[in-house]
Each structure stands twice: as structure tokens, then as C-alpha cells.
Homo-oligomer: A and B are copies of this chain.
């Protein structure tokens, strides 16, 4: 079994899986992919995505839902997958990322080949308007914030959305910016699962006394493998009600194509 920490490349190595039996895999939650000791949710979904691509024999996640059950701590984990149905276009499967002690993420998804897509194209939305990456605000790790995770991804925030770190919340729960992997590491469909959960939470820009909104569930739809280059991303919350908020994401590639959408449900602590 390969220790992913010894492989080249940040994301590919950190999501490396080894098959250990029928539908079973081992992986390692690599140090640095955490926020305050808990692995980033998109990173955990990416490990599951790798396992399900292998288990289903399909190259791409098409729709993947993860429920976040316990914090993912650094160290070895198991991914147990189960095929529910193998169809013509998609294979549908479940997965649990877990340790011997506890389940961390349970997931359900459809996997397929995004090259098989086609048909009419239409949209009433445009990619978010962002200043060039060099004119946006880089998110770089500092003590005590932002977390070391921000060295694993490369984020450049829209200046209008980046003031929260200095106490200048915009008042609108929106987070826009650019995403890529450091060192020119290419993005595949699985990397979009990471990008869908890599930005600071939209709640950081709300005028509300809420700082921490644990994710209950995140669903990502992947429409296309991204072209090389930066992703142009927009995350927004429209409804904080009933003790929950949603955060919906749109991820666009360098060709101006929507490559993924996400929506997560998060808990709003009662304060």
C-alpha cells in the first residue's frame, strides 16, 4: 500500500486510495487538509469520489451527496462502497468513509462518463464577474486564521467579499472568487467536489452573530470536466430559517462553462 504522503502532487496524493477487497478501500486523511483539526468536507467527499470512480468503473462523479457525521481526523480511514445499480449511462452506489470507531461521511451518488453528455445548451445566468486573479485577495494560512488548509488550495476572493477576516463583513452572505490547485495540478471531475466546499462560508459575510455552521449534507452535480486554468466560483445563501441555511455554489471553468453546481444544508446554532 502506498503512503499518499510520499506521492508527488498535493490533491492527487492526498486523495489516493488503495483497494483492499471487494468494494473496500483504504485512504489517509493527510495533515493540513483540516480546519481546526477537522478535515475539510470537500476533501473527504473527494476521497469518496475516488473510491466510487474505481468501484463503479466510471470516470466521473455526476451527482454525489454526502452527509457529514463525525469530524475527520488525520490518519487512516476505510471507504466501504456498495453498488446499488449498474445502468447504461450511470452506476449508482453508496459509500461510507469511516474509521473502526465511527462513520465520518456517508454518501450516495451516480457516476458516469461526462464525455457522453450532449443536447441543447441554454442558461439565463452568466459566470460571476470577478476582477483578474491578481486583483483579487489571496487567502493564505496565518495563525490562528485562515487555517493551514488554505495552502492546499489556491483561492483569490472578490475584494468585495474578502473583508470579513478584518471584521468588515459585507452584509451579504455571498462568497465569490477564483479557485485552482497549487503548482498547476490539473482539475478533474473529482477535484470539483473539493472546489465545491473550499471557500470560506457565506455566513462570514452575513450581519448575524453566527460564526460556525456545520454542514449536514452537501450535494454536488458535475456537468463537465473543467478546462485547464482557474475556476470562477460563486457561493450564496438565500434562506437562513428554521435553524438551517443553504449554501449554493456555481463553478465555472476558463471556457465560461458551468462545470458544477452544489448545494449544502448547514446548521445555524441557536447562539
> Are B69 and A117 closer than 8 Å at their CB atoms?
no
Interface residues of A in 191-240 (CB under 8 A from B): 206, 208-210, 216-217, 219, 221, 223-224, 238-240
- Complex: A172 Cα to B123 Cα, angstroms: 10
> Are A65 and B62 closer than 8 Å at their CB atoms?
no
Interface presence of A258 (CB below 8 A): yes
- Complex: A177 Cα to B120 Cα, angstroms: 27
Interface residues of A in 83-125 (CB under 8 A from B): 84-85, 87, 89-90, 92, 94, 96, 102-103, 106-110, 114, 116-125
Q: Contacts A123-B240, A261-B246 known; A65 to B118 CB distance under 8 Å? A: no
> Are B238 and A224 closer than 8 Å at their CB atoms?
no
> Are B125 and A217 closer than 8 Å at their CB atoms?
no
Interface presence of A167 (CB below 8 A): no
Interface presence of A56 (CB below 8 A): no
Interface presence of A271 (CB below 8 A): yes
- Complex: A125 Cα to B248 Cα, angstroms: 14
Contacts of A70 in B (CB 8 A): 85
CB-CB nearest in chain B for A84: B106
- Complex: A172 Cα to B224 Cα, angstroms: 24
Contacts of A238 in B (CB 8 A): 123-125
Partner of A106, one of B108, B209, B243, B270: B108
CB-CB nearest in chain B for A238: B125
Interface presence of A156 (CB below 8 A): no
Report A146 CB to chain B, min CB distance, Å. 24
- B-facing mask of A255-271, CB < 8 A → 1, else 0? 00110010101011111
